[in-house]
Amino acid sequence: MSKLSYMFQRRKNKKSGETTEKEIFDKEGIPKDYDHKLEINLKSLHELFYQTSDYQNIDIKIGSRNGCVCYLGTTLNKNELNSQVLEPLRDAFKEAKEDDKDIDKIREAYFPAVAYEYAETLHQIVWQILNGFAVILVDEQIKALGLNIGGMEKRSIDEPSTQTIIRGPKDGFVEDIDTNIGLVRRRIKNPRLVFENFHVGSDSHTKLVIGYMKGIVNEDILDEVKQRVKKIKTSGVLDTGNIEEFIADDNFTFFPLIFNTERPDSISGNLLEGKIAIFLDGTPFVLIVPSVFTDFFQSAEDYYQPFFMTSFIRIIRYIAFMIALTFPSLYVAITTYHHELLPTPLLISVQGQREGVPFPAVIEILIMELTFEVLREAGVRMPRAVGQTLSIVGALVIGQAAVEAGLVSNVLVIVVSFSAIASFVSPIYNFSIAARLIRFILIFMAASLGLYGILISLIIMVIHLVSLRTFGVPYLTPVAPFKLKDQKDVFIRFPIWSDRNRPSYLVTDAPVKEEGASPPSPPDSSSRGENTK
């Protein structure tokens, strides 16, 4: 029994996660049986798709037998349909022999190089049509032939827009799930890399894929992920953010419990560590589970730059998080209750700037914080060319005007601006949201109880973080509980050759990455002498 068994009850169902067409379409009331009579099958399809404008069927003949090609025009490439399907079928009308009654022979003769799937039930035919196949039905045949000729146009692979780096790969995920899986396959050429299919959403039937490294991943955690995905009950999902709310251990927290990224290299690195990736068709963001608190301070570029520089930048991220969290509330507490903490010259300067300001410090800072939040949101929602200008010019103009009007002090503008900039240091956007929200709580506590209120709030926050779990793993691990062997990639990064083990909190089946990893070193003097001789 795994060491994680005390955290959650292990599921005994080891059944594959593949979702069948029967499970999906039984709920829709779609007939299952496939009839050998072509007209009966076409009638069933027409009753199902009769109001669908993009459903099309083209009558064909193979020898003397009638047939039909059924497809949705909006889900496949029509040029490929003509060249790969319709033109060979014209030859089939002329060349087919009367004794070629097996659809297998038709496929071998006219579609030898086209990806295909057979459909032996009406459920499978409908599923293939919805997934962009051109389905060939032939009279007196016991099965249909679905040809995968390529889908509609999709966005090309481009640099990620939310997690940019200076050094490292520049490709990012797109909205097509097969392309995304291919980007990971390009990096991990290993047959143990497994992808299992699911479908979520009773109406949308959206494809979801769970990826993991077999022989490395913890089977208990993998079973837990599969069970949570199977329990998702909703009409439709449009992004992995919807999935995140269904499978997270606790939704009543400001902190994200599941890591998301649109970087294939980040997903590949986490898979090799023994974590699990969740892909969803239609979105470029992929989830990684389980994710702990320290994961949100790490960037893919940390492993492409020298480890001294990476360690320095990572410490800066932790400091920036604390500044974004506490700086405004410290200003309120000190200027309201604890003047003695400031040196006398600085105190005189701060109070002199606040001379004439009509509001107390808490109202003053709330005005500026809300103003910055409005500007930030407006900059995100506006067109890109206008949004950046609005954020910069709006902040400068409003900040300067507020100071000149005597509504706020110069020091306050510096405090709010610096804490806003510090919140952008986080590599993961939704983690910076937690600091922005908790900042307002700390401001109110500082206005009520001063530094004691801030300290009480931080203690409660730490207690809350310690209580969180992510798929049975403590959220603050490897800090609490403290694991010495995992400290090589937390606050600072050791050289890659020295980090030989996978995170111990994952309890992977292969805890050691590489035996005998060692740093490069020049040859000793004796070997150099031998070479010169």
The answer to whether residue 244 sits within a structural domain is yes
Residues 200 and 341 in one domain: no
pLDDT of residue 26: 54
Model confidence at 276, pLDDT cuts 50, 70, 90, reads very high
Residues 214 and 355 in one domain: no
The pTM is what?
A: 0.82
Model confidence at 208, pLDDT cuts 50, 70, 90, reads very high
**Which range, 114-123, 271-280, 408-417, is most confident?**
271-280
Residues 268 and 395 in one domain: no
pLDDT of residue 459: 95
Residues 319 and 237 in one domain: no
pLDDT of residue 98: 54
Cα atoms found within 13 Å of the Cα of residue 118, Cβ hemisphere only: 13
Instruction: Give the mean pLDDT of the chain.
Output: 82
Model confidence at 29, pLDDT cuts 50, 70, 90, reads low
Q: pLDDT at residue 30 above 70?
A: no
Per-residue pLDDT tens over the stretch 69-122: 998 888 888 888 888 888 888 776 666 555 555 788 888 888 888 888 888 888
Separation CA 264–CA 172 (nearest Å): 6
Per-residue pLDDT, averaged over 4-24, amounts to 45
The answer to whether residue 302 sits within a structural domain is no
Residues 114 and 190 in one domain: no
Number of neighbouring beta carbons within 10 Å of residue 517: 13
Model confidence at 373, pLDDT cuts 50, 70, 90, reads confident
Per-residue pLDDT, averaged over 480-500, amounts to 85
Residue 71 buriedness (CB in 10 A; 0-12 / 13-18 / 19+) = buried
Q: Output 81 or 385, whichever has higher pLDDT.
A: 81
Q: Is the peptide bond before 520 cis (omega within 30 degrees of 0)?
A: no
Residues 322 and 249 in one domain: no
Residues 429 and 337 in one domain: yes
Per-residue pLDDT, averaged over 341-347, amounts to 84
The answer to whether residue 511 sits within a structural domain is no
pLDDT of residue 446: 93
Q: What is the DSSP string of 426-460?
A: SSSHHHHHHHHHHHHHHHHHHHHHTHHHHHHHHHH
Q: pLDDT at residue 196 above 80?
A: yes
pLDDT of residue 251: 81
pLDDT of residue 333: 92
Helix (H, G, I), strand (E, B) or coil at 60: strand
Termini Cα distance of the chain: 59
Residues 312 and 283 in one domain: no
pLDDT of residue 533: 47
pLDDT of residue 5: 43
Q: pLDDT at residue 396 above 70?
A: no
Instruction: Determine the Cα angle at 311 with ends 306 and 313, to 5°.
Output: 95
Residues 196 and 228 in one domain: yes
Domain residues for the domain of 319 are 307-474
- How much of the chain, in percent, has pLDDT values that exceed 70? 85
pLDDT of residue 228: 93
The answer to whether residue 30 sits within a structural domain is yes
Region of poorest pLDDT, from 15-29, 182-196, 314-328, 341-355: 15-29
Model confidence at 512, pLDDT cuts 50, 70, 90, reads confident
pLDDT of residue 92: 67
Residues 269 and 385 in one domain: no
Residues 140 and 207 in one domain: no
Domain boundary (430, 450, 474) is at 474
Whether the CB-CB separation of 369 and 395 falls below 8 Å is answered with: no
Cα atoms found within 13 Å of the Cα of residue 212, Cβ hemisphere only: 23
Per-residue pLDDT, averaged over 54-73, amounts to 85
The answer to whether residue 38 sits within a structural domain is yes
Please give the tally of structural domains in the chain.
Answer: 3
pLDDT of residue 11: 39
Domain boundary (474, 495, 512) is at 474
- DSSP at 4: G
Per-residue pLDDT, averaged over 36-64, amounts to 84
Residues 465 and 317 in one domain: yes
Domain boundary (435, 457, 474) is at 474
Q: What are phi and psi of 213, to 5 degrees?
A: -100, 110
The answer to whether residue 190 sits within a structural domain is yes
The answer to whether residue 253 sits within a structural domain is yes
Q: pLDDT at residue 433 above 50?
A: yes
Amino acid identity of residue 162, one-letter, is T
**Which range, 53-57, 265-269, 349-353, is most confident?**
265-269
Question: How would you write 469-485 as a 3-class SS string?
Answer: EECCEECCCCCCCCCHH
pLDDT of residue 426: 84
The answer to whether residue 392 sits within a structural domain is yes
Tokens in use for 186?
């390009």
pLDDT of residue 37: 85
